[in-house]
Amino acid sequence: MVEESGVASASASTIPPFSREQELTAFRDMLLIRRFEEKAGQLYGMGVIGGFCHLYIGQEAVVVGVKMAARDGDQFTTSYRDHGHMLASGMEPRRVMAELAGKRGGYSKGKGGSMHMFSREANFYGGHGIVGAPAPIGAGVAFANAYRGDGRVSLTFFGEGAANQGQVYEAFNMASLWKLPVVFIVENNRYAMGTEISRASAQIDLSKRGAAFGIPGKQIDGMDVRIVKATADEAIEWCRAGKGPYLIEAQTYRYRGHSMSDPAKYRSKEEVQKMREEHDPIEQVRARLIADGMSEDELKKIDANARKIVAEAADFATADKEPDPSELWTDVLA
């Protein structure tokens, strides 16, 4: 069901509850992403980060919920709004920040930047600057999983704007035809740059977009980390059981502009404010933890810790050296 706000709703009784421990994990991981992104925005304004920088603020519940359902070894692939996915994959904040700053300690030695980052160790397959590219690439990672029969699931994220690219449907068809273990997660934050979804999509229930290929789909409130986790559990189980791909449309919202240079004139301040106040993924968890007897002080400590990690990452990124000039010529071919 979709409310007027554009976020699918579920009645309280159908939402699978989190344990205290799960709430804390979700709170900690989402807050780390939020603080990291705030710092990245600040460093961009100072010129430490250049080029394009797309912040994930507002969407934290999507990747954190999926991560909580994933198993070690499952792979993540996404597009250029990717810092949250990297942190959720367990990549080190300081090395992600160093990459954003174009420094040698970054995951791509400073050569990829915000939009193009990878970590084989963390099973993070990018970081792609081309809209739509993650869908077939994620399906290809799943192809390798099926080929090896290793039981891994490929978790593939892209935006609702990207969902209009033709290659997404070529990937859906092959993934279903070959029963590939891939969960396609459409992060529907309602806008692709300045284009609101209904101005670009004939069918705005994106969970139906796999139906023609026999891919089951679910449209969910992606601002509620518990719902994301529960849906991802189902989807991942489906994939691991060899039943083929699964499609999740997570309805979410980005608070900031598309990138740093977006004046965001295509939506009202009230709309953004309403989302922040009524649907913020982190505030929802905070409220539940407080209601459950957790003290403000304890939550402040978690926040302070996140800020400390992020400040340390920023210091590292700022102090680190640029890549050696010889790096221009390395890594072109194997």
Ligand X SMILES: Cc1ncc(C[n+]2csc(CCOP(=O)(O)OP(=O)(O)O)c2C)c(N)n1
Report d(CA 80, CA 190) in Å as an integer. Answer: 17
Residue 248 interacts with, from another protein, Mg ion, ligand X, none (CB under 5-8 Å by kind): none
Report d(CA 104, CA 161) in Å as an integer. Answer: 33
Contact flag: residue 48 with another protein (CB under 8 A): yes
User: 217 in helix, strand or coil?
Assistant: strand
Minimal CA–CA distance to 56: which of 32, 74, 77, 75? 32
Size of the site for Mg ion (CB under 5 A): 5
| Binder among 59, 201, 207, 219 for another protein (CB under 8 A) | 201
* 84 in Cβ contact with 56 (< 8 Å): yes
Residue 81 interacts with, from Mg ion, ligand X, another protein, none (CB under 5-8 Å by kind): ligand X
User: What is the closest distance, in whole angstroms, from the C-beta atom of residue 192 to Mg ion in the complex?
Assistant: 5
Residue-wise DSSP of 145-187: HHHHT----EEEEEETTGGGSHHHHHHHHHHHHTT--EEEEEE
Contact flag: residue 135 with ligand X (CB under 6 A): no
Long-range CB contacts (< 8 A, 24+ apart) of 324-333?
324/104, 327/104, 327/109, 327/110, 327/111, 331/109, 331/111
Minimal CA–CA distance to 175: which of 205, 152, 204, 154? 154
Residue 60 interacts with, from Mg ion, another protein, ligand X, none (CB under 5-8 Å by kind): none
Contact flag: residue 46 with another protein (CB under 8 A): yes
| Binder among 60, 99, 160, 221 for ligand X (CB under 6 A) | 160
Contact flag: residue 159 with Mg ion (CB under 5 A): yes
Residue 22 interacts with, from Mg ion, another protein, ligand X, none (CB under 5-8 Å by kind): none
The helix (run of H) or strand (run of E) holding residue 61 is: helix 60-69
| Binder among 34, 83, 152, 258 for ligand X (CB under 6 A) | 258
User: 233 in helix, strand or coil?
Assistant: helix
Binding site for another protein (CB under 8 A): 38, 41-42, 44-48, 50-52, 99, 101-104, 108-116, 128-132, 161-162, 164-166, 192-195, 199-201, 255, 260-261, 263, 265-266, 318, 322-323, 325, 327-329, 332
Binding site for ligand X (CB under 6 A): 81, 129-132, 159-162, 189, 191-193, 258
